[in-house]
Structure 1
Amino acid sequence: MKIAILTDSSYDGKIDEYKDLYLVPLIINTEDGRDILDDNNLAKEEFYQLLDSQPLKTSQATPGQLMQVWDELLVNYDQIIYLPISKGLSGQFANARMMSETEEAYKGKVFVCDGNNVSIITQKTVKQIAFWIAENKTGFEILELVKELSSKFTTFIIPKNLETLKRGGRITPTAAALAKMLKIIPILRYDGTIDKEDTARTFKRAIKESLKLIKKECHGTKFIDVAYSRFSSEDFEMILKIINDEGFKIGTISELTNVIIAHTGRETVALCGWKNTIK
């Protein structure tokens, strides 16, 4: 059986790492009314210029776009494992799951996985799926395995710069000003959705507190996966040094995707540890 892996542009890995991996772009919506596909045609520099100039929103791929990709893949593949951005961040999962279960052309062929997927989480999930496919597991089996995997990580997001969060209405201007005055850095937990976990008085302390929580919840883990938006080289080196000083090694490391940075902004880092040992 030949199985394709499909994800979307919340995935920040390299598509060409896996021969059967494909991507459908999500959409970046600008304040001046443009809908821009988040694909290779949107250069990183162009994206950051947009980010600095106006509030950005994001939206899911249309049902038509998604079905077109499924139809094209099913010409050469027996099944598709689809890893959309987490259902807690977008309606993409719910709409895709409905289409896969109600449209005759996709029943038993397209498997929409509920894996809390985004960024470095998706990278790990894709790696596992490629391994399971090599073991000749079917789409039905992989669907359940991804669900099990979805609870095996602890991830924290630390935004040093709150400007994008404030501009997008995710934090009030008063709260942002107070945080800046008191040098308070929020620590956000990601578990499929994003919620406040704690605060710290400095960015450095926020990194240390996050690693402390990961160490507690992912007992025995040796690696920290890192996703980031643009920092000064000094700050980025500091993040990596703290991780090493706390006794961890760097696992996967990659720049956050545009559709995530559109909401979190510059100077944001995500730290992820995995529970138990997975391949």
Structure 2
Amino acid sequence: MKIAILTDSSYGGSLKDFKDLYQVPLMITEENGNGIPDDENLTEDYFYELLEKQALKTSLTTPKTMLEMWDKLLTEYDQIIFMSLSKGLSGQFATFRMLSETEDKYKGKVFVVDTNGVSIILQHLVRNVAVWIAENKTGFEIMELTLQKHNKFSAFIIPKNLETLKRGGRITPAAAALAKMLKITPILRYNGQIDKQGTARTFKKAVLEALELLKKEKKGIKEIDISYSKIQEETLELLKSLIAKEGFTINLEAKLPKVIASHTGPETVALVAWDKGE
């Protein structure tokens, strides 16, 4: 059986990393309502120019784009594993799971997987799926195996710059001003959706606290994955030095996808650790 892996632009990795891996764009919308596909034509430089000036919104892949991709892939493959970003962040999963199960020509052929992931978590899961396909697992089996991964990771997001969160209404201007004055950095937990974990005085302390939480929650782990939006080189060097001093090595490293940076802004880092053996 020949199986394609399809993901969306919340993946953030290289499509060249795996055979038979494809991607569809999510949408980024400007304040004037202009929708931009999050594909290779949207350069990083232009995206961050837009983000600096306005509050950007994101939305799911257009049904036309998705169904055209499914139809195209099914001319070459027997099944498609579609790995979207977490259902806690978008309607992407729910919309296309419904279409895959109600349209006769996709039943038993397109499997929309509940990944609970985004960015480096999604990249980790795609690597698992590539192995399962090589082991001749079916689409249904891969759906079930992926569900078992939901509680296998701990992840924290640390936004150093709060301007985008303020502009998007996720924190109030007063709270942002106070945080800037007191050098307070929020620590957010990602578990399929984003929740507040705590705060720390300075970005450095926030990173150290997140690393300590990873040690506590994933005992014995030595590797972590990191992702980051547009970031100053000295900040990235600080991040990596703190990771090394805490006894970790970096496994996966990637840029934070634009659809996530649209909400968190520049100078945001994500730290992820998996259970041993995962």
Give the TM-score normalised by structure 1: 0.98
* 2:151 partner amino acid: S
Aligned residue in 2 for 1:95: 95
Aligned residue in 2 for 1:227: 227
**Structure 1 unpaired stretches of 5+:** none
Distance in 1 between residues matched to 2:51 and 2:260, nearest whole Å: 11
Superimposed CA distance per residue, residues 108-129 of structure 1 (whole angstroms, 9 cap, x where no aligned partner): 1111111112100010000000
- Kindly indicate whether residue 262 of structure 2 is the aligned counterpart of residue 254 of structure 1: no
Aligned ranges 1:68-79 → 2 under 5 Å: 68-79=68-79
For residue 221 of structure 1, give the secondary structure of its aligned residue in structure 2.
coil
* 1:83 partner amino acid: M
Aligned residue in 2 for 1:197: 197
**Structure 2 unpaired stretches of 5+:** none
Aligned residue in 2 for 1:105: 105
Aligned residue in 1 for 2:187: 187
Aligned ranges 1:57-68 → 2 under 5 Å: 57-68=57-68
* 1:156 partner amino acid: F
Aligned residue in 2 for 1:3: 3
For residue 117 of structure 1, give the secondary structure of its aligned residue in structure 2.
coil
Q: How far 1:64 sits from its partner (Å)?
A: 2.1
For residue 105 of structure 1, give the secondary structure of its aligned residue in structure 2.
helix
For residue 227 of structure 2, give the secondary structure of its aligned residue in structure 1.
strand
For residue 149 of structure 1, give the secondary structure of its aligned residue in structure 2.
coil
Aligned residue in 2 for 1:273: 273
Aligned ranges 1:86-235 → 2 under 5 Å: 86-235=86-235
Q: Could you list the runs of 4 or more consecutive aligned residues of structure 1 that deviate by over 3 angstroms after TM superposition?
A: none
Q: How far 1:177 sits from its partner (Å)?
A: 0.9
For residue 235 of structure 1, give the secondary structure of its aligned residue in structure 2.
helix
Q: How far 1:165 sits from its partner (Å)?
A: 0.3
Q: How far 1:32 sits from its partner (Å)?
A: 2.2
Superimposed CA distance per residue, residues 194-247 of structure 1 (whole angstroms, 9 cap, x where no aligned partner): 000011011000000001011111111111100001221111100000000000
Distance in 2 between residues matched to 1:192 and 1:249, nearest whole Å: 24
- Kindly indicate whether residue 28 of structure 2 is the aligned counterpart of residue 28 of structure 1: yes
Q: How far 1:17 sits from its partner (Å)?
A: 1.2
Q: How far 1:5 sits from its partner (Å)?
A: 0.3
* 1:13 partner amino acid: G
Q: How far 1:48 sits from its partner (Å)?
A: 0.8
Q: How far 1:72 sits from its partner (Å)?
A: 0.7
Q: How far 1:33 sits from its partner (Å)?
A: 2.3
Distance in 1 between residues matched to 2:267 and 2:125, nearest whole Å: 25
Moved more, 252-261 or 59-68: 59-68
Say what the alpha-carbon RMSD is for the aligned residues: 0.8
* 1:71 partner amino acid: D
Distance in 1 between residues matched to 2:61 and 2:235, nearest whole Å: 35
Aligned residue in 1 for 2:49: 49
* 2:92 partner amino acid: Q
Q: How far 1:151 sits from its partner (Å)?
A: 1.6
For residue 143 of structure 2, give the secondary structure of its aligned residue in structure 1.
helix
Superimposed CA distance per residue, residues 123-171 of structure 1 (whole angstroms, 9 cap, x where no aligned partner): 0000000001011111111001111112211000000000000000111
Distance in 1 between residues matched to 2:222 and 2:5, nearest whole Å: 28
* 2:276 partner amino acid: N
For residue 58 of structure 1, give the secondary structure of its aligned residue in structure 2.
strand
* 2:127 partner amino acid: K
Distance in 2 between residues matched to 1:270 and 1:180, nearest whole Å: 20
Distance in 2 between residues matched to 1:185 and 1:242, nearest whole Å: 16
* 1:164 partner amino acid: T
Q: How far 1:93 sits from its partner (Å)?
A: 0.4
